[in-house]
């Protein structure tokens, strides 16, 4: 997991980028609550992946219920916009696995890149 956060204070937004999103949770990436405006997932794998975001300061993949689950088909990039935004009252924690089931903790074979914009 390689997570970076770019704080664009002048725009009132943060860009979170994880170039190795996998079944290890990246916890509280923005340091607190905020509003989710968009997500981009790039999946180089030959099977779909499931990017999960939880409104939580910490998350345990396989146990923590995700607030948002997004599928990205094989060998593709998926962009999802939330025009009015989705409020996360605690924080942003994310992970990426190979199935939608909450209990899934299987890593994708190849590195998945995920980016999301928050306030």
Domain ranges of the chain: 3-118
Spelled out in words, what is the top-level CATH class assigned to the domain 3-118? mainly beta
pLDDT at 13: 87
The residues, ordered by sequence, that sit 6+ positions from 24 with a Cβ below 8 Å of its Cβ are 1, 61, 95
For 64-95, the pLDDT digits (tens) are 999 999 999 999 999 999 999 999 999 999 99
DSSP annotation of 11: G
SS3 48: coil
Q: Does the pLDDT of residue 10 top 70, yes or no?
A: no
pLDDT at 17: 96
More confident residue, 80 or 11: 80
pLDDT at 7: 63
């Amino acid at each position: 997991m390689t997570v970076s956060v770019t704080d664009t204070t002048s725009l009132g937004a943060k860009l979170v980028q994880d170039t190795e999103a996998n079944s290890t949770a990246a916890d509280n990436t923005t340091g607190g609550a905020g509003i989710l405006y968009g997500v981009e997932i790039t999946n180089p794998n030959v099977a779909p992946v499931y990017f999960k975001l939880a409104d939580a300061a910490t998350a345990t993949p396989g146990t923590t219920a995700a607030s948002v689950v997004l599928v990205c088909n094989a060998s593709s990039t998926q962009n999802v916009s939330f025009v009015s935004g989705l409020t996360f009252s605690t924080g942003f924690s994310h992970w990426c696995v190979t199935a939608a089931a909450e209990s899934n903790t299987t890593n994708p074979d190849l590195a998945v890149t995920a980016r999301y914009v928050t306030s």
